[in-house]
Amino acid sequence: MTEEMIIAGFGGQGVLSMGKIIAYSGIMEDKEVTWFPSYGPEMRGGTANVTVIVSDKRISSPVLHEYDTAIILNQQSLDKFEKAVKPGGTLLYDPNGIVNPPTRTDIRIFKVEGTRESVEMGNPKVFNMIILGGFLKVKPILKLDNVEKGLEKSLPERYHKLIPLNLEAIKRGQEIVETVKEV
C-alpha cells in the first residue's frame, strides 16, 4: 500500500497538523511516512499545503507532482491541485468558500461540510478533524485506534484532554461525508 496525498488550504485551517496526525498514525501501523510542507513566506496568511506519503515500503521522493488523494480546503488550492490528482484518484473538499466546484470526471469526488459542522459542534478548531474523518471514511488506510495513538503522539501533553473531542469530530466527519461523484 502506498498513499500519496496533498492537503491544501489556508494557513490556520490545521492543514499541517492534519498531515502530521496522518503521518504519526501511519507510524503506529508500522508504515513508512513522509510529511513535506510548503514553507516560508507563502505560509504566512496565504496558502499552506503539505504532501503526506504513507507506505509499506521505503518512500522514495517526498515531493510529488501527482497524487492519489487531494484534500482541498479553499478555492486557490482546488484550482492548483484538482489537475494533479491521478486518474481514478480521490478529491475531497469542503464546499465552504468554493465558487467553482471540481469538474473532473475521471476521479472520485467527495465533499465534507467541515466548516459548517465544526460551527455546529461549537468548536471551529476541530474543523481539520472532521475533514480527516471524511477522508478516513472514503480511504480507510488507517485504523481509528491508531489514529487515536497518532493524536496522542502529535499533540502536546497539555492538549491530551481534547483527544476525545477530536475523535468525536473524526466520527462526525465519517458520518457526513457525501459522495459527489464516483468513477
Partner 1 sequence: MGELRLMKGNEVLAEAVIRCGCDGYFGYPITPQSEIMEKLMERQPWTETGMVVLQAESEVAAINMVYGAAGTGKKVMTSSSSPGVSLMAEGISYIAGAELPCLIVNVQRGGPGLGTIQPSQADYFQSVKGGGHGDYKMLVLAPSSVQEMNDFVDLAFELAFKYRNPAMILTDGAIGQMMEKVELSDYKKRWTEEEVVEKNGSWATTGKPASRQRNVITSLELDSDKMEQNNLRFQAKYRRMEAEEQRYEAIQCDDAEYIFVAYGTSARVCQKAMEIARDKGLKVGLLRPITLFPFPKNIVKELAPKVKGFLSVEMNAGQMVEDIKQAVYETQIYRKVEFFGRMGGIIPSPGEVVDALEQKLIGEEK
- Catalog residues that contact partner 1 under the rule CB under 8 A: 20, 23-24, 27, 32-37, 39-41, 59-65, 153-154
Nearer to partner 1, 50 or 136 (CB): 50
Q: How far is the CB of 35 from partner 1 (least distance, A)?
A: 4
Q: How far is the CB of 153 from partner 1 (least distance, A)?
A: 7
The amino acid sitting at 26 is G
Nearer to partner 1, 61 or 179 (CB): 61
SS3 91: strand
Nearer to partner 1, 64 or 165 (CB): 64
Q: Which residue has the cell 483527544?
A: 163
Q: Which residues of 25-62 are buried (b: 16+ CB within 10 A; e: fewer)?
A: bbbbbebebbbbbbeeeebeeebbbbbbbbbeeeeeee
Q: How far is the CB of 175 from partner 1 (least distance, A)?
A: 28
Q: How far is the CB of 80 from partner 1 (least distance, A)?
A: 15
Nearer to partner 1, 45 or 101 (CB): 45
Alpha-carbon distance of 6 to 18, in angstroms, equals 11
Q: Which residue has the cell 502530521?
A: 20
